[in-house]
Amino acid sequence: MTNSINQPWAICDEFVTRYGKTWADIDFVVNGKISVDNFKSDPLNCEIGSLHVCNHRIAMTYKDLINYDKQLGIFLNNLYAEQTDKTEVQSLSVKGRDCMLVKHEVAKLTETISDALATVIKSYELGLYL
């Protein structure tokens, strides 16, 4: 699991107790090796990895990462703008899979997607192809 964005196995019990198991398990795992041919032929539909959230493993393409980065950013900004209570459960759908998350879990999901997208972009720019 060296291709993990959040490395959930390294989160100490104190944080799991404070923020919850769902928060601690949110992660994005990048595919082991993505070839340059994948990006040359169809970069937006190249499967980048899988999102782990609410006991779901959801395969994500590059296009999915871009879309969810924008959508979750707007959703999270609205939560803060509306001053939503931090214990209020929010319903999110990620590629048809429903997730029930509280505000800090939505924030971590948003950050995870954003970090995954940044990692993919930087790896591509550097020619690492993940």
One digit per residue, pLDDT tens: the chain, 130 residues? 468 898 888 888 998 899 999 999 999 998 877 766 766 777 788 888 999 999 999 999 999 999 999 999 999 999 999 998 989 999 999 999 999 999 999 999 999 999 999 988 887 777 765 5
Whether 64 contacts 46, CB under 8 Å: no
- Enumerate long-range contacts of 22-26, CB under 8 Å, 24 or more apart: 22/53, 22/54, 22/101, 22/105, 23/104, 23/105, 23/108, 25/52, 25/53, 25/55, 26/52, 26/53, 26/105, 26/108, 26/109, 26/112
| pTM exceeds 0.85, yes or no | yes
What type of residue is 14? E
